[in-house]
Amino acid sequence: MSNFLGGAEISARTEMLGLTNQLQNAEMQAQKAENTGGAKSADKVKKVAVEFESIFLGYMLKQMRKTVPDDPLFGNSTAKDIFYDMHYDNMAKEMAKAGGIGLATILYNQLSKMDGNTQK
């Protein structure tokens, strides 16, 4: 079956599985935060919004990297791909914590309206 699929399709499916896993982890963390009851509802919504922006930014960075030609000095290796993926995930988390592109704020404002919370 894998011989039937093209390399690009396999790569896309692998990425989608990775994104699905990240979203499931974010949902589990949000559920844990909800169950602890220590944080306010607004804090939970803000945390999930920042996590979502982090996932979005990570995906965007990885797609942008695909447009850059491979470096002939380092070649093409699985280790390099893993390093870049980890680097972009961490960079995306830091970008989202620092304010990112504003997606978390927009999500927070929208979700807090739906939840009945006041905006900060």
pLDDT in tens, 43-93: 888 898 999 999 999 999 999 998 988 878 877 788 888 898 999 999 999
Is residue 120 in a domain?
no
What pLDDT does residue 54 have?
94
Is residue 108 in a domain?
yes
Is pLDDT at 1 greater than 60 in this prediction? Answer: no
pLDDT in tens, 85-115: 999 999 999 999 998 899 999 999 988 887 6
Is residue 84 in a domain?
yes
Report the C-alpha dihedral over residues 23, 26, 31, 36, rounded to 10 degrees. 170
| Higher pLDDT, residue 5 or 75 | 75
Give the number of domains in the chain.
1
Is residue 30 in a domain?
yes
Is residue 2 in a domain?
no
Token pair for 87: 């680097």
pLDDT in tens, 20-38: 888 777 777 777 766 665 4
Distances 78 to 34, 41, 75, 82, 109 between C-alpha atoms, Å:
38, 41, 10, 6, 40
The residue type of 36 is T
Is residue 40 in a domain?
yes
Is residue 82 in a domain?
yes
Identify which of 1-10, 13-22, 28-37 has the greatest average pLDDT. Answer: 13-22
Is pLDDT at 118 greater than 80 in this prediction? Answer: no
Is residue 104 in a domain?
yes
What is the domain range of residue 54? 7-115
What pLDDT does residue 12 have?
75
